[in-house]
A and B are shown apart, each in its own frame.
Chain A
Amino acid sequence: MASDTLQSTSHTGWRAWLLTDTPASRMQARLGQLYLGWRTFRSNPLALIGFLIIVALVLMAIFAPLLAVHDPYAQNLDLRLRAPGEDGYWLGSDDLGRDIWSRIVHGAPITLQIVAIVAVTAPTIGLLVGTAAGYLGGWIDVVLMRITDIFLAFPRLVLALAFVAVLGAGIENAILAITLTAWPPYARIARAETLTIRRADFIAAIRLQGAGPIRIITGHIWPLCLSSIIIRVTLDMAGVILTAAGLGFLGLGAQPPLPEWGAMISAGRDFFLDSWWVATIPGLAIFIVSLGFNLLGDGLRDVLDPKRKSA
């Protein structure tokens, strides 16, 4: 679809080099692919918005001290639960009279950390396990899927709590615990995808050309599984942030007064009926960020999905 627009642009200099039909090196081909991907991506306004949201989050995280108008930890019991706009609190103040905007800003790096770690690790584990089980079959499938089932069959909170118990409390370990409980669904999705792919003619053809299982899995099955995995990851992000908050409630996640968004939501629960902003604003922050990840994820899928490029 995007190829029409590509043809019409004039190919000059580096652009021509990237878009050539006859790349001279593997490197050139790869970069060309990347560039094409970026063009597709750029032509999708929603994906761009998503991308911008994430960029904004990153910038917010980096420049948090500059953006915050108050000390995120400074309490003022005389000015507690102020509505947004009152007494110089842009987004209101919380139950201890702390500025919610400043806390949101300072919470950005924490959120980013949570999201980054979980988004990278959990799907990777799931993908490895799921594709190996699905492609190789036999006893490997049996063993891997039994392990997955056991993990999947566990109430997640029980599992997370146990991991944190072993590793010790704190936000980093809470994230790790979430990862360890989050991978099984990815494994199942990846396996289901693999099962339908592995008997496809093109896989048989590649096998006839002498490709081994590792090359087939990494080179051909992974890219095909990626789209389902990515949509699941981007959708899970909000849940991950909220789960981190849930662990915080058990004393296993972020400890007060750390302005972790999920923890801020939990703390705002008791004031919900009269001071809606204390819980709603961090909730909206999570919404916007997960919206960003979702839009980005959809855009990325269009770029990454090899099935759609052939169209």
Chain B
Amino acid sequence: MKLTRRSAVKGIGALAAAPAFGRMAFAETPPNMLVIAGTIDDIVSLDPQESFEFSGSDILNNMYGSLVSFDPKDLSAGYIPDLAESWEISNEGKTFTFKMRPGVKFTSGNPVTAKDVEYSLRRAVAMEKTPSFILTQFGFNADNMEETLVATDDMTFQLTTDKTYATSFVLNCLTATIAYVVDSETVKANEVDGDWGNGWLKTNSAGSGAYSLVNWKANESYTLQVNPEFWRGAPAMQRVIIQHIGESATQRLLLEKGDVDIARNLTPEDIAAVEAQEGIEVDSDLRGRIMYFSLNQAKPILSDPKVIEAMKYLVDYEGMANSFLKGQYTVHQAFLPLTYMGELKEKPYSLDIEKAKALLAEAGHGDGFELEIIVRTAQERVQIAQSLQNTFAQAGITVSITQGTAKQILARYRARDFDIYLGAWGPDYPDPHTNADTFAHNPDNSLEAGLTGKLAWRNSWDIPEMTKATEAALVEQDRDTRAQMYVDIQREWQKTSPFVPMFQKIEQVARRSNVQGFVTGSAITAAFYWPVTK
């Protein structure tokens, strides 16, 4: 494959004389192969109807098609036809009829038909894996799916929701991973004990996308092979390998040496260093993740509106964004990510110790009090926690930090067992409802309700009014009115909520200069490998 590699070090004994045998000074990946250094340790399944992790959606986005999807060259255009060529909406906006695109094939050679769509969506509903709520929120369930999710013929698929929702909401949800279309014949052939082929599909692929899976080695790498029949045109890269490289320093060395084409997880310091180098370029792209902290409303002291407001003035937003988060987070103070419909750009809060002190004094806590921040062990989060600890202390609030593994911290968050939670939230599908649903919707705040999926519930934030407003926005048919409704909700939320959003994520992708066309998916979707050329 590559001659330079063949003369690699000739054994330990030859180490002393190594320069003579050494590789050529500049390594390079093969021209038709894309090698990416990233982190893939969060992937636990490659079944699109089960996967719910960031890196999982990256790989699936390149292996499967869906009824509607995005154009990587113009993500801001929103959803566009993919496996469905066109659609019609009838029955007061409740019935969506999709016409399938003719001539598209799965990598197995089977044609993509409406039957496959029917199978995939029913599969999602029936298996009830965690992301299934994205579809079941339209009223689908295992009992009614035979009537609500139907292939009327090979080329026509029809779905019927339980009430009228905003059209954009329904279609946006159909771009999510859970609605990706699997090859029903292949998956059925691998069913075991009525598991809908889940056991098999966790580690295999059966899609119609640009690539198919060669193998996935958990925590190590995955390899994709091109689908020459891809209906949008065969990709230039014959093979794509994503290597799991946990350390930023290692990723940087690999990129500098040309052993990888793209490095996706460099720290701000490493980005600054590679940016200055010849042959490497850095692209910045706004992603959907919001970094926030929240105050548990079950704690009396934290539910005082004055205390809540004071907390919002005790964050060194600019200081953090310009130092250890430089280039990788932008200050953002609303729950919808920038670029989303209904985005709110206003940033009313900044570090103001005096104002915070005054507010705390008004609330009767001028002498200060003690709090615990729980945070998972991840460099940037622990740094943020320490910065908060520092600024809070200036207003007399003594903060202890408890760090732990993601699962430990999450378990406490879900059990409402915390004072302050510091963490991040990423949208599940590219519709404003995804974040509104979790940050501003809490139909039943009781402990028994156990709405553990919703952040408002986890923080014991009881908001009957705002819950109604969020539900109203969900069924609003007019796009502009709907957008305005989200702006209004966020203005109110920004003022009163116990959530303190601080930053929105910017992904800095460092690539060799000859690599063009890589798309991270921005705030709305996952990465695209197939437009890449070099």
Q: Give the B-binding residues of A (Cβ under 8 A).
A: 73-75, 77-78, 80-81, 95-97, 169, 249-252, 255-257, 267, 269-275
Nearest-neighbour CB distance to chain B for A6, whole angstroms, equals: 50
- Closest B residue, CB atoms, query A273: B249
Known contacts A249-B377, A251-B403, A77 near B322 by CB under 8 Å: yes
Contact check, B386 vs A75: say whether CB atoms are below 8 A apart: yes
Contacts of B383 in A (CB 8 A): 95-96
Question: In the assembly, what is the distance between CA of A219 and CA of B267, in Å?
Answer: 58
Q: Annotate B423-436 by CB proximity to A: 1 below 8 A, 0 otherwise.
A: 00000000000000
Question: In the assembly, what is the distance between CA of A272 and CA of B253, in Å?
Answer: 12
Contacts of A81 in B (CB 8 A): 269
Within B346-397, which residues are at the interface with A (CB < 8 Å)?
376-377, 379, 382-383, 385-387, 389-390
Answer yes or no: B270 CB below 8 A from chain A CBs. Answer: yes
Question: Among A75, A255, A270, A272, which residue has its beta carbon within 8 angstroms of that of B387?
Answer: A75
Question: Among A73, A250, A267, which residue has its beta carbon within 8 angstroms of that of B405?
Answer: A250
Nearest-neighbour CB distance to chain A for B400, whole angstroms, equals: 7
Within B249-281, which residues are at the interface with A (CB < 8 Å)?
249, 252-253, 267, 269-270, 272-273
Answer yes or no: B284 CB below 8 A from chain A CBs. Answer: no
Contact check, B324 vs A80: say whether CB atoms are below 8 A apart: yes
Answer yes or no: B401 CB below 8 A from chain A CBs. Answer: yes
- Closest B residue, CB atoms, query A251: B404
Contacts of A75 in B (CB 8 A): 386-387, 390
Known contacts A250-B405, A272-B249, A77 near B273 by CB under 8 Å: no
Nearest-neighbour CB distance to chain B for A60, whole angstroms, equals: 24
Question: In the assembly, what is the distance between CA of A80 and CA of B390, in Å?
Answer: 15
Nearest-neighbour CB distance to chain A for B244, whole angstroms, equals: 17
Nearest-neighbour CB distance to chain B for A264, whole angstroms, equals: 12
Q: Total interface residues on B, using CB and 8 Å?
A: 34
Contact check, B267 vs A271: say whether CB atoms are below 8 A apart: yes
Question: In the assembly, what is the distance between CA of A249 and CA of B379, in Å?
Answer: 10
Main secondary structure of the interface of B (DSSP, over half): helix
Contacts of A252 in B (CB 8 A): 404
The contact sample of 26 A-B pairs, CB cut-off 8 A, is A75-B386, A75-B390, A77-B319, A77-B320, A77-B322, A77-B324, A77-B387, A78-B323, A80-B323, A81-B269, A96-B383, A96-B386, A96-B387, A97-B323, A250-B404, A250-B405, A251-B377, A251-B402, A255-B401, A255-B403, A256-B382, A256-B386, A256-B401, A269-B249, A274-B270, A274-B273
Question: Among A249, A250, A257, A269, which residue has its beta carbon within 8 angstroms of that of B386?
Answer: A257
Answer yes or no: B316 CB below 8 A from chain A CBs. Answer: yes
Contact check, A73 vs B390: say whether CB atoms are below 8 A apart: yes
Nearest-neighbour CB distance to chain A for B248, whole angstroms, equals: 6
- Closest A residue, CB atoms, query B323: A77
Contact check, A273 vs B386: say whether CB atoms are below 8 A apart: no
- Other 16 A-B pairs with CB < 8 A, given A95-B324, A257-B389, A273-B269: A75-B386, A77-B324, A78-B319, A80-B323, A97-B323, A169-B404, A251-B402, A252-B404, A256-B385, A256-B386, A267-B382, A269-B247, A270-B248, A273-B270, A274-B269, A274-B270
Known contacts A75-B386, A96-B324, A273 near B401 by CB under 8 Å: no
Question: In the assembly, what is the distance between CA of A95 and CA of B248, in Å?
Answer: 15
Question: In the assembly, what is the distance between CA of A210 and CA of B393, in Å?
Answer: 68
Question: In the assembly, what is the distance between CA of A81 and CA of B389, in Å?
Answer: 20
Question: In the assembly, what is the distance between CA of A123 and CA of B408, in Å?
Answer: 33
Nearest-neighbour CB distance to chain A for B349, whole angstroms, equals: 18
Contact check, B273 vs A251: say whether CB atoms are below 8 A apart: no
Known contacts A96-B324, A272-B249, A275-B269, A255 near B390 by CB under 8 Å: no
Nearest-neighbour CB distance to chain A for B144, whole angstroms, equals: 45
With most chain A CB atoms within 10 A of its CB, the pick from B319, B322, B403 is: B403
Contacts of A77 in B (CB 8 A): 316, 319-320, 322-324, 387
Question: In the assembly, what is the distance between CA of A272 and CA of B273, in Å?
Answer: 12
